[in-house]
Amino acid sequence: MHNKSLKQLSDALQQGKISSVELTRHFLDRIHQHNPDLNAFISVTDELALTQAKAADERLQAKTAGPLTGIPLAHKDIFCTKGVRTSCASKMLDSFIAPYNATVVEKLNDAGMVTLGKTNMDEFAMGSSNETSFYGPVKNPWDTERVPGGSSGGSAAAMAARLAPIATGTDTGGSIRQPSSLCNLTGLKPTYGRISRYGMIAFASSLDQAGPMANSAEDAAWLMNAMSGFDERDSTSVDRDVPDYTATLNDSLNGLTIGLPKEYFGAGLDPQVAQTVESAIKHYESLGATLKEITLPNTSLAIPTYYVVAPAECSSNLSRMDGVRFGHRAEDPKDLMDLYTRSRGEGFGDEVKRRIMIGTYALSAGYYDAYYLKAQQCRRLIRDDFLKAFEDVDVIMGPTAPSPAFRFGEKTDDPVAMYLEDLFTINTNLAGLPGVSIPAGFVNDLPVGLQIIGNYFDEARLLNVAHRYQQETDWHQRTPKAYL
Amino acid sequence: MSLEKSDIEKIAHLARLAIDEERIPDYARDLNNILNLVEQLSAANTEGVVPMAHPLDAYQRLREDTVTEVDQRDVFQAIAPKTEEGVYLVPKVIE
């Protein structure tokens, strides 16, 4: 049951071959069996899940169910879920019970989906390995001595081990795509503004975007249909019609032009990963696509730009964690300043502190022009590179991550080395473009992802391009042996 | 550009972050490494480039100036660390 697609599960539910309660119990049992080893979940919501499953079964019986009704899912612990701990993997929010639902959660609840629990992540989504979580690192089901990627590492590990049929993630600099690459998933970061950020705990507001983490492009399309759309409560949400993402999955790729940025295949890329990705790209020629070398000349500016913009925004967003209204509060503060500084000092982990300090510094008087303004100008240069490229090509392809999953501790002492893990994903966040990572093969038994980047609001085409490849390959169907 | 111990203390103060005294050299090393990475931006020619604050060049939507939210004080204060009679408690700020 845990290896079936959303369509297969939906059909089984609609035809009464299985109830949502049975399906939910199946996944809850798997979570309780495997989570102690993987640490993929921070909270498992058995009671809520079974209540929602019973309600779904009633809708199914009453024939008022939608296509996703009764299907379980896991939410990254960055989405506020009413009455459930929403920790963002931080000690700061360890006791935070969200008083409302994020729009994404509300939409998926309305669709009749069943929340299995909240998945582990890097603290406040800051990290590329899931080693910064207050609740400890998540293990990669493909090799438990290695990281699952971050920051949506818990969702990625839960999916790879088949502890949930679908999961939500968020992507600020690659946090859906990079763990998807390291765990053999299809992870889509939509266009900025496509999915509401309301109730999604903010890290860097101009970059954050929610998206699906799935076993296939088809499954991702199903979730996108339910997640996407305008939200009055998010001032950055885009008021634009949502297409049926499943309707165009089988469109022909004849005449598709694929851009291959030369900057994505140079220094920093593992040669075996390069070979695997090139082989996957080559396959598209047999599907009728044409390959074209392109250049994105300002690619090297992406990481330095990101490490000004994201910390600047995070230093502002996280200022709301002050020990007064919610979250961790220091004991016996001697004055207001002591309350603020000790609550924040005790509540935040090292990586969060580093980024808050970098952001505070970059925004401080005397450095604003040199750092923040300059980064915003570089951001436009990066965006303009993409716009120029899309005059000649339909999609852009390259690697998702520079290497397969690395070992725990390998990069923890060097933040800059860790930051380079998002080398190929970060620039699409700066530009606000959509990107998807799909399974493309293995190197030393570890998954490798192919990244496909599209023009603004071109998610349907990305899923079509991904789906056609998955119709002819079985990389995405492979499961780690211990979790078959 | 190199941040010293006193710079780290000043930044931490501005950020309202208590940091362990013995960790300051580690933060100084890490922050300097990150700033060295960021320094690469200075080589980029950005003359005449308009800063990009929003990926879609969008602007803030306007809405009617009407009340749309209901009072949820009790809900929000139920998760507060310390409240009394409907207010959030903080240490005394006025002698």
**pLDDT by 10-residue block (mean), chain B, 95 residues:** 90 97 95 94 95 86 89 94 95 86
User: A residues 383-402 near B, CB within 8 Å?
Assistant: 383
CB contacts of B90 in chain A (<8 Å) are: 324, 333, 336, 339
Which residue of chain A comes nearest to B54, CA vs CA?
A206
The residue among A421, A450, A418, A420 whose CA lies nearest residue A435 is A450
Determine the pLDDT at residue A414. 87
Q: Is the pLDDT of residue A237 over 90?
A: yes
CB contacts of A305 in chain B (<8 Å) are: 41
Q: Is the pLDDT of residue A170 over 70?
A: yes
Q: Where do the structural domains in chain A lie, given as residue ranges?
A: 6-255+396-477, 300-374
Residue B23 backbone phi and psi in degrees, to 5: -90, -10
Asked if A128 is an active-site residue, the reply is no
Across the range A87-112, mean pLDDT stands at: 97
Q: Per the residue annotation, which of A87, A90, A155, A175 is the catalytic one?
A: A175
d(CA B32, CA A264): 27
CB contacts of B82 in chain A (<8 Å) are: 329
Q: What percent of chain A has pLDDT over 90?
A: 96
What angle in degrees, to the nearest 10, is found between the helix axes of A374-389 and A302-317? 130
Q: Is B64 left (phi over 0), alpha (psi -120 to 50) or beta?
A: beta
> How far does the CA of residue A277 sit from the closest CA of chain B (Å)?
28
CB contacts of A319 in chain B (<8 Å) are: 16
Peptide bond into A128 cis (omega under 30): no
pTM (predicted TM-score): 0.97
> How far does the CA of residue A324 sit from the closest CA of chain B (Å)?
7
The residue count of chain A comes to 484
For residue B46, what is the enclosing H or E element?
none
Across the range A306-326, mean pLDDT stands at: 96
Where do we find the tokens 């493309």?
A: A440
Determine the pLDDT at residue B1. 59
The residue among A163, A47, A92 whose CA lies nearest residue A323 is A92
Asked if A334 is an active-site residue, the reply is no
Asked if A181 is an active-site residue, the reply is no
Q: Are A137 and A411 in contact (CB under 8 A)?
A: no
Q: B5-43 has which CATH code? A: 1.10.20
**Which residues pair with residue B88 across a beta bridge?**
B83
For residue A114, what is the enclosing H or E element?
strand A114-119
The residue count of chain B comes to 95
Interchain CB distance below 8 Å, B11 and A193: no
This model of the complex carries an ipTM of 0.95
Across the range A68-87, mean pLDDT stands at: 98
Across the range A322-327, mean pLDDT stands at: 96
Helix extents (H) in A404-481: 415-419, 426-431, 459-472
Superfamily name with CATH number, domain A6-255+396-477: Amidase signature (AS) domain (3.90.1300.10)
List Cβ<8 Å contacts ≥24 apart for A315-320.
Answer: A315/A355, A315/A356, A315/A357, A315/A358, A315/A359, A315/A360, A315/A363, A315/B15, A316/A359, A316/A363, A317/A202, A317/A203, A317/A204, A317/A205, A318/A124, A318/A348, A318/A352, A318/A356, A319/B16
Across the range A183-209, mean pLDDT stands at: 97
Q: Where do the structural domains in chain B lie, given as residue ranges?
A: 5-43
Angle at A321 between CA B28 and CA A236, to 5 degrees: 100
Determine the pLDDT at residue A246. 98
Please name the member of A95, A358, A373 whose beta carbon is closest to the beta carbon of B31.
A358
Interchain CB distance below 8 Å, B17 and A345: yes
3-state helix, strand, coil in chain A (%, to 5): 45, 15, 45
Q: Is the pLDDT of residue A53 over 70?
A: yes
DSSP-derived 3-state class of residue A186: strand
CB contacts of A346 in chain B (<8 Å) are: 18
* DSSP code string of A134-164: TT-PPPBTTBTTB---SSSHHHHHHHHTTSS
DSSP-derived 3-state class of residue A432: coil
Q: Are A28 and A49 in contact (CB under 8 A)?
A: yes
Across the range A58-79, mean pLDDT stands at: 98
Which residue of chain B comes nearest to A429, CA vs CA?
B55
**Number of Cα atoms under 13 Å in the Cβ half of residue A6:** 30
Which residue of chain A comes nearest to B61, CA vs CA?
A235
Q: Are A344 and A90 in contact (CB under 8 A)?
A: no
Determine the pLDDT at residue A415. 87
Determine contact: B66 vs chain A, CB below 8 A.
no
Cα torsion at A312, A318, A323, A328 (round to 10°)?
-130
Determine contact: B34 vs chain A, CB below 8 A.
yes
Average pLDDT, chain A: 97
Across the range A171-182, mean pLDDT stands at: 98
